[in-house]
Amino acid sequence: MVPVPLIRLQCGVNSYEWGKKGSESAAARYAAATPTDDFSIQHDKPYAELWMGTHPNNPSKDLATGRPLTDLVQENAQLLSSSVMAKYGPQLPFLLKVLSIDKALSIQAHPNKRLAEQLHARDPKKYPDANHKPEMTIAITPFEGLCGFRPLNEIAHFLKTVQPLRALVKPDKADEFVSSIETSTAGASEEVRRHNKTALQHVFASLLSATPEEIRTETANLLAQVRSEGDNFAAGGTPSSSGAVLSELVTRLNRQFPDDIGLFVFFFLNYVRLAPGEALFLVADDIHAYLSGDVIECMASSDNVVRAGFTPKFRDVTTLVDMLTYNTAPIEDQKLHPTEYPYATLNRAAYSAGSSIALYDPPIEEFSIVRSVLRGDAAKAVFEPLDGPSVVICTSGRGTIAVGPTVERISEGHVYFVGSTAELVLQSEGGPDDEFITFKAFCEVDNARDVSEKL
C-alpha cells in the first residue's frame, strides 16, 4: 500500500561542543517539538545540529510508525519520483539541517565529487562517503561566518599591518605576495588570474606550515597588538572589516580556540553577517567557517569535511591546500540572493498581509529551498506538484499543512516529508502581527518547466 505522501518526521539532534546550550539552541527546541521518550533538553548540554533526511548517520523516522524514512522511500519509489530515483537511487538527494552555533565551527572545505571518491577510497574512516557536498546556508537568526578568500588587496593590507600574521607567513613570502598582487591586480586576463591564484596558494600554504610553537608565540603577539591598537587595529581594518570588528573577533576566537592557526587564517577569509532570510551558497572546494547564529543548511547527502583550524578533530592540511579554488571576491558576491518562486499561489489574505515566497536556487541539481512567510490569520499558499520529494520545517508561528484531504497542524519545530507529485497547501493561524515561517527543501531533476528559465 502506498503511504499518504505527507509524513510527519521525528528527526535526530547531534550534540557537538560548538552547539548552543539547552533551549538557547534552535536545533534542540525543534527536536523537542516532536515528543519522544529518548529526548529531552538538558540546560547545560550543547545541541548543534538537527538532521532531516535519509543520511545513514542520523536518518529521520516516520513519527506515526517509528520506521526510518530510508525504508519508506526504498519501498515506495513514487515518493521520490522515477527521475530522482534513477539519478540518485532510493534516498533523498539532499540533507537538510538546522545548525545552532555558539562557538566557531572548523575552518573547512568540502571536496568535489572526484576528490571525494579518491578520499573515500583512501581513508573511508575519515571520509565516510564518495559524494561531493555543495551546501547552502540561510539565516534563521543573525549569523556570523567566514566565506571564501577576501579580495587580494585586503589580504595584502593585513600582511602589511598585522605583524604576527606576517611573521607566521614569513616576511620574504609576505613581501613577495604583496609586491606580486599589487602589480598585477590592475589586469583581468586569464594569465593574471592564474598568477594571483598561485601566489595566494603559496602564501596560504606557508601560513599553514607554521609550527605549534610559532603559532603560540605569534598568538601572544597578536593579542598584544589588539590591546595596544584597539579600534585602530590593523590600521583601522578594511571597508568590509573594521579594526573594531577585527579586534573583537580575534579576542573572542582566541577564547574559544587558544593558540590556533585558525586565528590567522581568519585574515585571509571574508567575514560575513547575515540577517534572517539572507543566504550563502558554498561550492565544492570553497573554504569557510561558521561563527555564530542559527541557520538552515542544505547540502548534497554527504558528510565529507576537510578541516584545517578551529577544531580538535583531524586536520588534513595538505589536502585542503591542494583542493581549494583560490577564487577571491567581496562577500557580497558570495551571497545567494533569492528570487520569486513562480509555482506557488497566495490567496488574497496573504497578499494583503504582505506575505512572501522566495526561492533559493543554487546552481546544482540536488536541492533548492523555498522560504515562505505567511503573515496574519488565514494567509494561504498553494504549491504546485513537483516531480520530486520535499522536506518542510516550520521555524516560527503556526498553521496547517495539507496534501489532498490530509490536513495537519504545524508549528515551530515540526518537520514533514512531502512525496512527489503532491500539491501542498500551507495556511497560517495567529494574530495580525504573527508570522508563519517555513522552509521547503526539494529536488526535481529533468524538469521540463526549468525554474531558472522562467524566473
21 occurs within a structural domain: no
- Specify whether 383 is located in the same domain as 311: no
Residue 224 is predicted with a pLDDT of: 98
Q: Three-state SS for 172?
A: helix
pTM of the model: 0.91
Whether residues 240 and 272 fall in one domain? yes
State how far the Cα of 43 lies from the Cα of 54, in Å rounded to an integer: 29
Clarify whether residues 267 and 365 are in a common domain.
Answer: no
The mean of the pLDDT values for the chain is 90
Per the domain annotation, does 97 fall within a domain? no
CB 8 within 8 A of CB 414: yes
| Residue 321 within a domain | yes
- Cβ(70)–Cβ(55) under 8 Å? no
- Given 292, 311, 334, the domain boundary residue is 334
User: Do residue 152 and residue 290 come from a single domain?
Assistant: yes
Domain boundary among 301, 334, 367: 334
Q: What total number of domains does the chain contain?
A: 2
Q: Quick one: 314 and 446 in the same domain? A: no
pLDDT above 90 covers what percent of the chain?
A: 70
Type and span of the H or E element at 204: helix 190-208
Question: Could you list the residue range(s) of the whole structural domain that residue 183 is in?
Answer: 146-334
Domain identity same for 194 and 233: yes
Per the structure block, which three cell numbers stand in for 42?
Answer: 538538558
Helix-, strand-, coil-residue percentages of the chain, each rounded to 5: 35, 30, 35
Phi, psi dihedral angles at 274 (to 5 degrees): -115, 135
In a domain, 130, yes or no: no
Residue with more model confidence, 331 or 294:
294
Judged against a pLDDT cut of 50, whether residue 286 lies above it is answered with yes
196 and 330 housed in the same domain: yes
Position 2 scores a pLDDT of 52
Candidate from 30-34, 165-169, 325-329, 339-343 with smallest mean pLDDT: 325-329
Angle at 419 between CA 416 and CA 34, to 5 degrees: 15
307 is catalytic: yes
Q: Tell me, what DSSP letter sits at residue 337?
A: P
Tell me, yes or no, whether 122 lies in a domain.
Answer: no
| pLDDT attached to residue 337 | 95
The one catalytic residue among 307, 315, 371, 375: 307
**Same domain membership, residue 291 and residue 236:** yes
Mean pLDDT on 321-328: 88
CATH code, domain with 448: 2.60.120.10
Give residue for cell 549569523.
143
Q: What is the pLDDT of residue 360?
A: 97
* Residue 296 maps to a domain: yes
Cα(308)–Cα(162) distance, integer angstroms: 21
* 249 and 318 both lie in a single domain: yes
From 139-143, 299-303, 349-353, 391-395, the region with the lowest mean pLDDT:
299-303
Segment among 91-95, 96-100, 161-165 with least mean pLDDT: 91-95
Run of H or E residues at 387: none
pLDDT tens for residues 51-63? 999 988 889 999 9
pLDDT band at residue 426, thresholds of 50, 70 and 90?
A: very high
If one compares 384 and 285, the residue with the highest pLDDT of the two is: 384
Tens of pLDDT, residues 231-252: 999 999 998 889 999 999 999 9
Last residue of a domain, one of 282, 307, 334: 334
Tell me the angle at which helices 212-229 and 243-256 cross, rounded to the nearest 10 degrees. 140
Asked if residue 188 and residue 327 are part of one domain, the reply reads yes
Decide if pLDDT at 454 tops 70. no
**Is position 14 within any domain?**
no
- Whether pLDDT at 100 is above 80: yes
Q: How confident is the model at residue 450 (pLDDT cuts 50, 70, 90)?
A: very low
Q: Which of 10-24, 113-127, 414-428 has the lowest mean pLDDT?
A: 113-127
Nearest to 159 by CA among 207, 217, 228, 112: 207
Regarding predicted confidence, which is higher, 128 or 291? Answer: 291
pLDDT for position 125 = 75
181 plus 311 within the same structural domain: yes
Stronger pLDDT, 112 or 399, i.e. the higher one: 399
Q: What is the pLDDT of residue 188?
A: 63
At residue 135 the predicted structure's pLDDT band, cuts being 50, 70 and 90, is: confident
Q: What is the pLDDT of residue 186?
A: 56
Q: Is 72 within a domain?
A: no
Judge if 420 and 446 occupy the same domain. Answer: yes
Structure-block grid coordinates of residue 316: 588534513
pLDDT of residue 154: 94
